[in-house]
Structure 1
Amino acid sequence: MKSHFLVFLFFLLTTVAGGVLAQAELSPAELFRRARLATFVQKDYPEALRLVQLALQKTPDNAPMRILLSRVYMLTNKREEAREELDIVLKRNPQNREALNQYIELEYAATDPAAALSYINKALEFYPQDEEYMLKKAQALYDVKDYPEAFILINDILVRYPHNPEAKALATQIRTFASLDQITLSYDFFYFNKNYNSALNETPWHIANIAYGHRTNRGIVIGRVNYANRFGSSGLQVEAEAYPRISPRFYSYVNVGYSGNEPIFPRFRAGYSLYANLPQSYEADLGLRYLRFSSATWIYTASAGKYFSNYWFNLRTYLVPGIQSLSHSYTFTTRYYFDTADDFLSVAIGSGISPDENRSILLDRPQQLSSRKVDVWYSSRINKVNVLLLTGTWFNEAQPDRARGTQLSFGIMYQRRF
């Protein structure tokens, strides 16, 4: 009986030892494969830990194996050990995307979104403007209740990636909590060359405004006071403007204004446009504008736009029905975005006058003849809450009984958000 027991014990020991020796002879790649199988399919974490540690004994510098070891530690609530393994990987290669992603996930598992945010920021140093990391950062900012910053960032993401469904869903969440106020100051100078009459040539125009905007979960509402010195006189105009969000696909523009200082400003002005975010990063809008000088002027507008990489292209037209003819203007705009939606360079070429321009007072003159224009805008966000915009325009138009006139305008805008 004793001899049978000894034989059984010998058989068991040789079998186990043979299995261990066999596994020791497995290649690191095969051990890694089996460790992944034990981790993600079989959920056998002790076996996964044993296999990946055995693989690392053979290839200690293998980053994917060490990241897998960190994953096993994380799944078994050994977060400090998990961090140590990821630190080893990131010390050797700070740009390792898989390690960065797992560190972010690890800190979220530890219910520490602030720590996760710090690793997201590190990732963005190596992968700036990356869609995945920008979205992770917006989520982290929301989770740490930094709603104004989250609001700014999610809008930047939607400019670059307007059809990202996760971004749209997160934007809806953030808008529920975010309220962002802003004060805007702007000034524009208009010069008319000697081909214009003396009233225009000898008295350049000066236009300034101050505006206050309040952003809610339904959109932004703006109140504005405009000052102008033109035609040798000064005047004021008050405006109210809003961009109500109708749905994730549609939003609108609404504007009304009044002035008692004609012809410096129209007595009444109003506008409405409906905007649609379309598939494949396209957008479009339809709208109308109303200006009341000595008589009423109705203007109809439409545009189509496309986001491509960091670029935005847009073609817009304004149509002004007349008694005998239809006046029309066209503008094609190309915009390049740098870091955010507030950092860009735009160049536009076109013809005609837009009722949304400060020179729209000229729409009250007799029927416009041919005209050409070039606009340039440069915008930059400074320290997250300041926006500076510089503009310049060259405008050249035909005049009845006169040589073509040239206008030059320069503008500056400063916006403070709080």
Structure 2
Amino acid sequence: MRAIFSTVVLLFLCGALFAQDNLSSDELFQEARKAAFDRKDYPEAIRLCRIALAKSPDYSDIRVFLGRVYTWSDKIDSARTEFRYILERQPAYEDVYVAITDLEYWNDRPAEALQHVNKGLEYHPKSEELLLRKAKVLANLKQLHGAAETANRLLAINPGNAAARSLLNGIKDQVRKNKVDLSYDYTYFDKRFDQPWHMLSLSYGRQTPLGSVIGRVNYANKFGEGGVQGEVEAYPRFSNTFYSYVGFGYSGNDIFPRYRAGFSLYANLPRSFEAELGFRYLYFSSSTWVYTASLGKYISNFWFNFRTYLTPGEDNNLSKSFNLTARYYTAGADDYFTLGIGTGISPDDQRNNINYKINTNLMTYKLNLAWQRTFARQNIIGVYGTWFYEEYQPDTYGNQVNVGVSLARRF
């Protein structure tokens, strides 16, 4: 009986091996990918790649994949052997430069990684994968100006590359950790108020190891009354995926909220998506809680964002605000045109959040345009405008127009 069982097992194994031997290189490659990605069975993936390469020794996609599996298995020398095999025979093959750069970078050999990525860029000067890796390697080597130039070169090719934009923002924060921003807003009403509103803001931001911290002073003149508000904001980063916003403001004047606070958690998701969940708190003569959620997406040179603000009220009423924003990047992270449409009011709009004190159930429609541009490397100028068609009394509407200008400097 034992002999029969052993014979059956042997025949089964031989059949399995014979079946694999009859598979094409492409079919073996697909099976190896399933073993590695679906089952995390790296030894099986390596074995299948070896069978495929015995049939097709110069099938570079399989050999690069084999090298990556060796990398994930901490078999570094074996990975280098596979990559060098391709480099000797196909020196213009782009994927091998991406893979060997990753190998050296992940194993704390940035100088070697830089050599490989530079060689790859000689053959493929517009490769987004190689340019992104070069920027990361240069940043790791503390060659921050070169890293920024490389990231900008990539963004000139594809302004919608979210990874490059995030990396460039981090590099800028390391190179120039300070930022001063001055802005002025003018608001005109055709019916609601006889006098225009004015608002002047001055802020100072500093990049810290935990994230950026910003202090801001706002001065406004509304209803013929002047007032000052102080704010502190921070953007702590927890990982490459998660970061947050924390804010607090105080004013002793009625034209601002007495207290203002907020928190949001952001997540950088796959496929260039970004999601946010958070809340805002305003206190005038009573407390107002506002909940917010947004979803953003980079597509080529564009960034799209949909946001909602939800404000619970009395008698289970829920005030809703919706905003859709489209931004077109013309160059780096600070250079863009913005178009936005929406309904309702926003607790983050310091020009108009006093409306939470008046009535959150009246309807508002809005359209905004903005332009921002970097000049002389360290300076940023912005011009923006918003048109509001607002219901300031039940069934009574008026126009409100806001225009503003901002000037910032990094140092």
* Shorter-chain TM-score tier: 0.5 to 0.7
Unpaired segments ≥5 residues, structure 2: 1-86, 102-108
Q: Distance in 2 between matches of 1:289 and 1:151?
A: 35
- Is the alpha carbon distance of 1:360 and 1:177 closer, same or farther for their aligned partners in structure 2, counting shifts above 3 Å? closer
Partners of 1:190 and 1:152 in 2: how far apart?
A: 39
Q: Give SS of 2:338's match.
A: strand
How far has the Cα of 1:367 moved from its partner? Answer: 3.6
Q: Relative to 1, partners in 2 of residues 1:176 and 1:406: Cα closer, same or farther, differing over 3 Å?
A: closer
Give TM-score, length-normalised by structure 1.
0.64
Aligned counterparts of 1:261 and 1:153: Cα–Cα separation in 2: 48
- Distance in 1, Cα, partners of 2:387 & 2:353: 15
Matched residue type, 2:234: A
Q: What do residues 92-143 of structure 1 show as CA deviations (whole Å, max 9, x unaligned)?
A: xxxx999xx9xxx9xxx9x79999999999999x84x945335424534653
Aligned twin of 1:132: 130
Q: 1:363 to 1:131 in 2, by over 3 A?
A: farther
In the alignment, which residue of structure 2 is the partner of 1:85? none
Contact 1:225 1:239 in 2 (8 A): yes
Matches of 2:359 and 2:296, distance apart in 1 = 31
Distance 1:359 1:220 in 2: 26
Corresponding residue for residue 313 of structure 2: 322
* 1:269 maps onto 2:260 in alignment: yes
The aligned counterpart of 1:220 is: 212
CA distance in 2, matches of 1:173, 1:271: 23
**1:389 maps to what in 2?**
382
Work out whether residues 120 and 130 of structure 2, in 8 Å CA contact, stay in contact via their aligned partners in 1: no
The 2-side partners of 1:114 and 1:229 are apart by 55
Q: How many residues align?
A: 314
Cα RMSD over matched residues? 4.3
Task: Report the Cα distance in structure 1 between the residues aligned to 2:364 and 2:169, rounded to whole angstroms.
Answer: 43
SS of the aligned residue for 1:360 comes to: coil
Matches within 5 A, 1:199-348: 200=193, 202-262=194-254, 264-324=255-315, 325-348=317-340
Amino acid at match of 1:229: N
Distance 1:254 1:148 in 2: 30
Q: CA deviation at 1:280?
A: 1.5
Instruction: Report whether the alignment pairs 1:374 with 2:367.
Output: yes
- Identify if the C-alpha distance between structure 1 residues 188 and 131 changes in structure 2 by more than 3 Å, giving closer, same or farther: farther
Over 3 Å counting, the alpha-carbon distance change for 1:384 and 1:153 in structure 2 is farther
Q: Is the 8 A contact 1:346 1:378 kept in 2?
A: yes
* TM-score, normalised via structure 2 length: 0.65
Q: Is the 8 A contact 2:234 2:245 kept in 1?
A: yes
CA deviations 1:234-264 (Å, max 9, x no partner) are: 11111000111011111000000011111x1
Q: Measure the CA separation in 1 of the matches of 2:159 and 2:215.
A: 25
CA contact under 8 A between 2:264 and 2:276: conserved in structure 1? yes
CA distance in 2, matches of 1:188, 1:172: 26
- What SS class does the counterpart of residue 139 from structure 1 fall into? helix
Closer, same or farther: CA 256–136 of 1 in aligned 2, 3 Å: same
Q: Would you say the 8 A contact 2:117–2:133 is kept in 1?
A: no
Counterparts of 1:288 and 1:241, CA distance in 2: 14
After superposition, the C-alpha distances for 1:139-185 in whole angstroms (9 at most, x for unaligned) are 34653x44367469759969833368xx98x7899699656111011
Tell me which structure has the larger Cα radius of gyration. 1
What's the % identity of the aligned pairs?
A: 42
**Residues 159 and 215 of structure 1: CA distance in aligned 2, closer, same or farther (over 3 Å):** farther
Letter in 1 for 2:160: R
Q: Is the 8 A contact 1:260 1:267 kept in 2?
A: yes
Match of 1:187 in 2: 184
* SS of residue in 2 equivalent to 1:160: coil
